Structure 1
C-alpha cells in the first residue's frame, strides 16, 4: 500500500499531502520525519534523482523537482522499486501540468490540476494509472462522450 505522497517546498512547508491508511495521530510524525529527511539529504541533488530510505518497516523514495520535494512512502508490495515507478509517474504528471520543473509559485498556481493528477495516479493507496495520456484525459473535467 502507498501510505503517503507528500510535496514540500524548499524550506519544509507541506504543499500537498495524501495519506492512506495512516492514523491521524501518526501523520504529524510522518510530516516532520519526511521534511527532516529531505533537509538532511536533498541539498545538491539534481532534479528527479531518486533517493531511498527505510523507516519503521516502510520504504521511502524521494526526490526534488524544481523547487518542490516529493516523498512517496509505501509498505508491503510497494518496495523501493515499485515506489520509484510511482514517483516517476508523479513527477512526469507534475512536469506535464506545469510545463517545466515547477517553482513553488507555479506549483501553487497549478495546485488544482496537480491534485487531480494525484487522485488519478494513486487511488486508496494503490497505483491506479501510469499512462500520461490517460491521466491527461481523466483530469479534463469533461463528461465522457460515450459510456
Structure 2
C-alpha cells in the first residue's frame, strides 16, 4: 500500500540540518519538504502553503521556535497543523512543559535526531489529524 505524500514545512536557520532532514524525508519517506530559514519567513510560508506538518527549530536569530509556535497557533488557518520541534539546546523540564502548553506541539527532539523516528511520528500525527469544519460560504 502506497503511503500518502505529506507536505512538510521545515523552519530552521541551520542549512546543514535543513538539507539532512529534507533529503531523508524526501528520499526515504517520499514526502514533499518546503524550507524557511527563519521564523518570520516560516510563518509566512505556513500561511501560504498550509503544510500537513511543520518541523521547527527552537533556537533561531530573529524569532525563537516558541514565538513561532505561538504565532502559528494564534492563526486559525495554521492552528491545527502538528509541529515537531528540534533543538540543539538543553531544555530544562520547566521549559519543555511550557512549550507543550501549545496544543499543536507534538514532540521536542534533541539534535541530532533520528529522522526515521521523527518521520514515523509525523506520519502518525498527519494520519490521525482532524480538520476543523469550515463554515459554508454564502451563495
Task: Looking at secondary structure, tell me which structure has more strand per residue.
Answer: 1
Would you say same fold, with TM above 0.5?
Answer: no
TM-score w.r.t. length of structure 2: 0.38
TM-score w.r.t. length of structure 1: 0.36
